[in-house]
Amino acid sequence: MAMLPARKPDRPSDGAPHGMRPAVARRHHGGRSFDEHGWVVEEAPLFIDIVGAGSYTLMRTAAQGAEEACAYTVADGVLAEAGVPDSLALAAGFLLSEGIVADFGEVQSMALCADTPEHLRVELFDPSRAPRGGRLVASACGLCGESTGQHPAAGLPQVGRALHLVLADLPRLMTEMERRQPIFRATGGSHSAGLFDASAHLVAVAEDLGRHNALDKVIGEAVLTGRLRPGCGVLLSGRVSLELVAKAARAGVELISAISAPTSLAIDTAERCGISLCGFVRQGRATVYTHSERLVG
* Known active-site residue 141: yes
Point out the catalytic residue in the list 70, 113, 141, 144: 141
Positive or negative: CA dihedral 57, 86, 115, 101? negative
How would DSSP label each residue in the chain?
Answer: -EEEEEEPPPPPTTS--TTEEEEEEEEEETTEEEEEEEEEEPEEEEEEEETTTEEEEEEEEPPPS--TT-EEEGGG-SPPSS---HHHHHHHHHHHHTTS-SSGGGEEEEEE-SS-TTEEEEEES-GGGSPPEEEEE-TT-TTTT--S-S-TTTTPPPP-----EETTHHHHHHHHHHTT-HHHHHHS--EEEEEE-TTS-EEEEEEESSHHHHHHHHHHHHHHTT---TT-EEEESS-B-HHHHHHHHHTT--EEEESSPBPHHHHHHHHHHT-EEEEEEETTEEEEEE-GGGEE-
Residues 6+ away with beta carbon under 8 Å from 240: 256, 258, 260, 261, 262, 263, 266, 277, 279
Active site residues: 141
